[in-house]
């Protein structure tokens, strides 16, 4: 497995455990896609038919399934690379000049026939997860500047047109709303143009042919980039569908100085003929084995809902004591601890402890939290600044702005120009100062508005997020124990770019309504790991009263947190919360590190059924938001168990023991009643 190369015929193969991806250099010298699908027995059977024009209206360059199409010649299709050479030429004519193979990577070298300009296609495999990673690096070997107008990381070809697209749309408080649509014959573009990622679309796609959770062909991919991305999906006139992902060319121009090289963000993609479940397992396994920190995430309490900006040391300690009584392991103080931060109109940028709120600094709070045996966390929004702050008075040119325009404000704040080295140092030093002075275990990094008035440099959309990545990596290199949470007014920064740049958790949405979260978390689970999904129990409620148990069960589907004003909790609330947190701790290992299943059922009632399983145990979550007239139960067939083993569990108060084969093929009957009913059933392998 890995890479196959037929040097004589210049046919290349990329193999995973169950798939083959193949391409070749054809008779015109073009790098041409051949195949992507179930695994084949080598490259011998591949033929590379010679291409010839069909008509003057069908140029050969436009018909060819190029592995990486460029802008140039008679190409009218979507391209992945478009440049402007110093003499004004806006055209690439490339030739294949060789390849490089290492243990981890296959690199195909392509070069312009006239200019000393090269671009190299990089391929990497994650064999057991059946995933392929692609990116492109471009190098300017000329003696003049080359400008890149568009650069997409990769293009993939799917041999069908009768496909259904699944992805997410949304807005603030409604991220990760699943949508499905047939491709038809139009071009579909999913994108972001806001700089600080987006709640509207997410950089992933899923294309299937009549697939279910457990059957059918599924093609999928993600882009490892926060901020301005572009996904283009287009059925081709002569059959098949192409997908491109990369940096959004909107208002973007990357300048390459002589001798300079640029590497695009990576695209990760895969194929399975075993349905959406296998797709999710491949992506989750990739994250758990290659990206996420080992171990389990702590149960968190965040004080925002209890106090908002009105934070004071004594009250925070009182909250921490109540949180500890319930079994919380990490106490996080949110916004309001710094500067003149009494509302969202001031304070951002002045990162000193407010002496009125904390007369003796943060240490009394931190020491109290630590003495209780809990970790301590804190909220920051380092990319932003409020106009009244001393920081902006001292450095008025540190924001994105046009000198002849009124500065844009949103949420009473402006965006720092993080592309400036001095701003990067300011942010790093601020975080470094906090972490060196105080025993901080967790940072919630927020970003609450889009970027605007970006100035004359049109590459800043990309450079901004690259700078954020770099700061995060520097921080984690110096403080490897630190947990970093990515937040952008909720789920505006949920992507693999953030995960792979040293962030550990996502704040999935500012919407913490327990029922709404079921749909948000369901769509999130398609490609993102459960372990990184922060989910809270809060006082938020978009409908009639939801029981505390339902709230906990919904939040226990990810990495559990709390945000209620627990100072108002009754003794009964405290007791129940402690019991449910303890229940979560008993299943936390399988929830965060096990395999996740979206279970299907045939009940006429609107049940939501999910399962987590590993080699020794499983946890079944069943929700019934509202009982229908029929008042029927649901038969749940489990997944991922050992068919030959026996499992013990308790159902409706009765201890039972059944075989894995029985549980997966016959299933168990669960009946809930009333509104917002829920249960968790634990299965232990005997």
What are the domain boundaries of the chain? 2-51+58-290, 300-592, 599-685
Residue 77 assigned as binding residue: no
In the predicted model, what is the mean pLDDT of residues 389-405? 96
398 belongs to an annotated ligand binding site: no
**How confident is residue 1, by pLDDT bands cut at 50, 70 and 90?**
low
**Average pLDDT, integer, range 345-360:** 98
172 is in an annotated binding site: yes
Measured CA to CA, the distance from residue 548 to residue 564 in angstroms comes to 11
Reported as a pLDDT band with limits 50, 70 and 90, residue 213 is: very high
**pLDDT at res. 28:** 85
Q: Which CATH number fits domain 2-51+58-290: 3.20.20.70, 2.160.20.10, 3.40.1230.10, 2.70.98.60?
A: 2.70.98.60
609 is in an annotated binding site: no
Tell whether the model's pLDDT for residue 542 goes beyond 70.
Answer: no
Write the burial class of residue 189 (CB in 10 Å: 0-12 exposed, 13-18 middle, 19+ buried).
Answer: middle
Q: Which pTM was predicted?
A: 0.97
Helix ranges (DSSP H) in 123-207: none
| Mean pLDDT for the chain overall | 96
Quick one: 501 exposed, middle or buried, by C-beta within 10 A (0-12, 13-18, 19+)? buried
Q: What is residue 217's predicted lDDT score, i.e. its pLDDT? A: 98
pLDDT at 126: 98
* pLDDT of 628: 84
Please tell me whether 285 is known to bind a ligand: no
Tokens 């990739």 belong to residue: 286
CA dist., res. 155 & res. 232, Å (int): 9
Residues 6+ apart with CB under 8 A from 462: 227, 228, 247, 252, 254
Is 335 annotated as ligand-binding?
Answer: yes
Q: Is 535 annotated as a binding residue?
A: no
Angle, helix 548-555 to helix 514-524, in steps of 10 degrees: 10
303 φ, ψ (degrees, to nearest 5)? -90, 5
Q: Bigger pLDDT: 556 or 456?
A: 556
CATH of domain 599-685: 2.60.40.1180
The annotation status of 120 as a binding-site residue, yes or no, is no
Asked whether residue 115 carries a pLDDT value surpassing 70, the answer given is: yes
The number of beta carbons lying within 10 Å of the beta carbon of residue 466 is 18
* 300-592 shares its CATH topology with 599-685: no
Q: pLDDT tens across 354-384, in order? A: 999 999 999 999 999 999 999 999 999 999 9
pLDDT over 70, % of the chain: 99
* Cβ neighbours for 684, distance < 8 A, ≥ 6 positions apart: 616, 617, 647, 648, 649
If you ran DSSP here, which 8-state letter would residue 216 be given? B
117-126 vs 254-256, strand pairing mode: unpaired
DSSP letter string over 340-361?
A: T-SSTTS-TT--SB-TTT-TT-
* Alpha carbon of residue 658 to chain centroid: 38
Q: Is 487 annotated as a binding residue?
A: yes
Angle between the 363-371 and 313-326 helix axes, to the nearest 10 degrees? 20
Residue with tokens 């011998």: 44
Q: Single out the residue of 230, 306, 236 nearest to residue 264, CA to CA.
A: 230
Please give the distance of CA 462 from its chain centroid, rounded to a whole number: 17
How does pLDDT run across 45-86, given as a tens digit for each residue? 999 988 877 788 888 888 889 999 999 999 999 999 999 999
- Mean per-residue pLDDT, 215-228: 98
Q: Answer whether 482's CB lies under 8 Å from 440's CB.
A: yes
Residue 555 pLDDT exceeds 80: yes
Check whether domain 300-592 has CATH 3.20.20.70, yes or no: yes
* CA pair distance 517, 528, nearest whole angstrom: 15
∠ CA 635-641-643 to the nearest 5 degrees?
95
Whole-number Å distance between alpha carbons of 647 and 670: 17
Cβ neighbours, 10 Å, residue 422? 10
- 397 dihedral zone (left: phi>0; alpha: psi -120 to 50; beta): alpha
441 is in an annotated binding site: no
Helix (H) / strand (E) containing 218: strand 217-223
Query: pLDDT tens digits, residue range 456-511?
Result: 889 999 999 999 999 999 999 999 999 999 999 999 999 999 999 999 999 999 99
| CA 601/CA 414 separation, integer angstroms | 49
215 has a pLDDT exceeding 90 = yes
pLDDT in tens, 140-197: 999 999 999 999 999 999 999 999 999 999 999 999 999 999 999 889 999 999 999 8
With a CB cutoff of 8 Å and minimum separation 6, the contacts of 168 are: 175, 176, 177, 178, 179, 201, 202, 204, 523
What is the structure's pLDDT at 501? 96
DSSP 661-675: HHHHHT-EEE---SS
How many CB atoms are closer than 10 A to CB 179? 12
Catalytically active residues are 446, 510
Q: Does residue 227 carry a pLDDT above 80?
A: yes
* Six token digits for residue 263: 């590497």
To the question of whether residue 6 is assigned a binding role by annotation, the answer is no
Residue of 102, 156, 139, 155 whose CA lies nearest to 124: 102
pLDDT at 23 over 90: yes
| 313 neighbors 358 (Cβ within 8 angstroms) | yes
- Give Cβ neighbours of residue 117 (< 8 Å, ≥ 6 apart): 83, 85, 92, 111, 138, 139, 140, 141, 142, 146
User: What is the 8-class DSSP label of residue 568?
Assistant: G
Residue 483: C-alpha distances to residues 287, 505, 533, 551 (Å) = 16, 8, 13, 25
Distance CA 463, CA 457 (A): 10
């Amino acid at each position: 497995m890995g890479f196959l190369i037929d040097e004589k015929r210049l046919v290349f193969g990329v193999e995973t455990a169950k798939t083959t991806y193949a391409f070749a250099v054809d008779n015109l010298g073009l790098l041409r896609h051949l195949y992507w699908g179930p695994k084949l027995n080598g490259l011998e059977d591949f033929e590379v038919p010679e291409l010839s024009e069909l008509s003057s209206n069908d140029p050969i360059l436009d018909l060819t399934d190029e592995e990486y199409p460029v802008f140039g010649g008679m190409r009218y299709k979507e391209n992945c690379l478009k440049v402007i050479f110093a003499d004004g030429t806006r055209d690439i004519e490339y030739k294949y000049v060789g390849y490089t193979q290492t243990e981890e990577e296959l690199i195909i070298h392509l070069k312009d026939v006239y200019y000393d300009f090269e671009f190299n296609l990089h391929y990497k495999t994650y064999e057991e997860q059946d995933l392929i990673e692609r990116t492109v690096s471009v190098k300017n070997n000329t003696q003049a500047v080359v400008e890149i107008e568009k650069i997409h990381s990769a293009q993939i070809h799917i041999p069908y047109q009768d496909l259904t697209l699944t992805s997410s749309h949304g807005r603030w408080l409604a991220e990760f709303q699943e949508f499905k649509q047939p491709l038809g014959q139009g071009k579909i573009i999913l994108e972001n143009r806001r700089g600080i990622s987006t709640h509207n679309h997410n950089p992933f796609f899923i294309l299937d042919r009549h697939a279910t959770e457990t059957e059918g062909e599924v093609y999928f991919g993600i882009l490892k980039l926060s901020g301005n991305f572009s996904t283009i999906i287009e059925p081709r006139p002569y059959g098949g569908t192409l997908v491109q992902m990369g940096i959004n060319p909107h208002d973007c121009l990357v300048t390459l100085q002589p001798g300079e090289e640029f590497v695009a963000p990576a695209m990760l993609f895969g194929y399975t003929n075993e349905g959406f479940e296998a797709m999710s397992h491949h992506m989750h396994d990739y994250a758990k084995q290659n990206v996420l920190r080992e171990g389990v995430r702590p149960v968190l309490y965040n004080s925002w809902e209890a106090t908002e900006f009105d934070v004071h040391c004594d009250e925070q300690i009182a909250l921490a004591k109540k949180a500890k009584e319930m079994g919380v392991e990490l106490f996080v103080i949110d916004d309001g601890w710094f500067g003149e931060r009494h509302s969202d109109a001031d304070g951002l940028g002045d990162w000193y402890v407010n002496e009125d709120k904390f007369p003796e600094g943060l240490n009394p709070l931190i020491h109290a939290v630590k003495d209780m045996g809990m970790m301590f966390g804190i909220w920051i929004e380092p990319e932003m600044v409020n106009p009244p702050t001393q920081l902006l008075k001292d450095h008025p040119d540190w924001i994105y702005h046009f000198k002849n325009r009124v500065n844009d404000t949103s949420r009473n704040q402006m965006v720092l120009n993080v592309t400036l080295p001095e701003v990067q140092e300011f942010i790093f030093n601020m975080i470094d100062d906090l972490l060196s002075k105080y025993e901080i275990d967790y940072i919630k990094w927020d970003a609450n508005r889009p970027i605007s008035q970006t100035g004359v440099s049109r590459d800043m959309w990309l450079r901004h997020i690259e700078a954020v990545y770099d700061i995060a990596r520097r921080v984690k290199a110096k403080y490897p124990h630190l947990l970093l949470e990515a937040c952008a007014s909720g789920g505006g920064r949920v992507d693999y770019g953030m995960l792979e740049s040293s962030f550990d958790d996502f704040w999935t949405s500012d919407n913490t309504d327990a029922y709404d979260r079921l749909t948000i978390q369901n769509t999130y689970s398609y490609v993102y790991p459960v372990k990184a999904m922060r989910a809270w129990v809060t006082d938020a409620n978009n409908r009639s009263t939801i029981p505390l148990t339902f709230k906990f069960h919904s939040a226990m589907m990810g990495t559990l947190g709390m945000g209620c004003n627990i100072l108002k909790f009754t003794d009964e609330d405290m007791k129940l919360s402690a019991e449910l947190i303890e229940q979560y701790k008993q299943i936390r290992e399988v929830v965060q590190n096990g395999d996740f299943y979206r279970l299907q059922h045939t009940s006429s009632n609107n049940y939501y059924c999910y399962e987590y399983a590993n080699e020794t145990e499983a946890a079944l979550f069943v929700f019934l938001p509202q009982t229908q007239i029929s008042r029927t139960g649901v038969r749940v067939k489990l997944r991922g168990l050992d068919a030959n083993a026996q499992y013990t569990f308790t159902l409706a108060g009765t201890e039972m023991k059944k075989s894995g084969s029985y549980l997966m093929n016959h299933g168990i009957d669960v009946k809930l009643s009333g509104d917002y009913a829920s249960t968790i059933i634990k299965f232990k392998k005997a």
